[in-house]
């Protein structure tokens, strides 16, 4: 009400010239004594302004809530992702060391295959003990041999084909004929694919 009264006074002052100072004094004296009534148009404008500010505030509040929820969801996703990465890092932390040991395991397998007829020799038995101990230690670190045997169906996702040869029988077409090098997994992740020969 006071704001409207001031606005009316300013409009009256603007319209009056400097010559009518007596009339201005009379108007100022009559204005406070007269009851001021808002016209319906002015009242609607004030109500609309109040609604728009209220609507703006509620929209701003909703936008801030949305931003907060998105930020919270993004942070939760970040925590989950880093947790998964950390677990995977622990599972495969020694991958380089294990990869360096794989050729040694291959050499042990080849040597034991050559000396398979001479198992009573103490040197061969010593080699077998060392081989078993090394394999057990590697197994404790999460290293596992991928189970690939001749006769399995070739799968490009799990095997590496070195060459193709004519299949000895029709049922061996598209299947593994021979395994040249074993494959290994570390913590469920393939670190070396088995090298195989497949039948055409």
pLDDT over 70 at 33, yes or no:
no
User: Which tokens is 183 given?
Assistant: 């494959």
pLDDT over 50 at 4, yes or no:
no
pTM strictly above 0.75: no
**Domain extents for the chain?**
95-199
Alpha-carbon distance values, 42 to 7, 8, 36, 48 (Å): 12, 12, 12, 10
**What's the rounded mean pLDDT across residues 19-40?**
49
Per the DSSP assignment, residues forming a β-bridge with 163 are 197
Q: Tell me the torsion sign for CA atoms 155, 158, 161, 165.
A: negative
**What's the rounded mean pLDDT across residues 177-198?**
90
The per-residue pLDDT for 80 is 95
pLDDT over 60 at 35, yes or no:
no
Range scoring the smallest mean pLDDT among 88-92, 141-145, 156-160: 88-92
pLDDT over 90 at 69, yes or no:
yes
Greatest mean pLDDT among 25-29, 43-47, 78-82 lies in 78-82
Tell which CATH architecture fits domain 95-199.
Answer: Roll (2.30)
Per the DSSP assignment, residues forming a β-bridge with 92 are none
**Closest by CA position to 191, among listed 73, 98, 83, 75:** 98
Assign 184 a pLDDT band (cuts: 50, 70, 90): very high
**What's the rounded mean pLDDT across residues 93-122?**
88
The per-residue pLDDT for 118 is 84
The per-residue pLDDT for 96 is 84
pLDDT over 90 at 61, yes or no:
yes
Instruction: For residue 186, report the phi and psi dihedrals to the nearest 5 degrees.
Output: -125, 115
**Whole-number Å distance between alpha carbons of 143 and 157:** 19
**What's the rounded mean pLDDT across residues 35-63?**
70
pLDDT averaged over the chain?
A: 80
pLDDT over 50 at 97, yes or no:
yes
């Amino acid at each position: 009400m006071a704001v409207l009264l001031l606005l009316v006074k300013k409009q009256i002052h603007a319209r009056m010239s400097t010559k009518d100072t007596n009339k201005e004094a009379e108007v100022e004296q009559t204005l406070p004594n007269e009851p001021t009534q808002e016209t319906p148009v002015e009242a609607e404008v004030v109500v609309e302004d109040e609604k728009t500010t209220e609507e703006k505030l509620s929209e701003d509040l909703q936008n801030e809530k949305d931003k907060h929820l998105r930020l919270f969801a993004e942070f939760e996703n970040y925590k989950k992702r880093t947790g998964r990465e950390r677990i995977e890092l622990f599972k495969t932390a020694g991958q380089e060391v294990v990869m360096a040991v794989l050729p040694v395991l291959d050499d042990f397998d080849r040597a034991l295959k050559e000396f398979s007829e001479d198992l009573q020799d103490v040197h061969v038995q010593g080699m077998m003990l060392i081989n078993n101990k090394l394999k057990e230690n590697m197994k404790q670190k999460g290293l596992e041999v991928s189970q690939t045997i001749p006769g399995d169906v070739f799968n490009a996702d799990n095997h590496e084909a070195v060459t193709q040869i004519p299949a000895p029988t029709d049922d061996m077409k598209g299947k593994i004929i021979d395994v040249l090098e074993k494959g290994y997994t570390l913590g469920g992740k393939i670190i070396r694919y088995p090298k195989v020969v497949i039948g055409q």
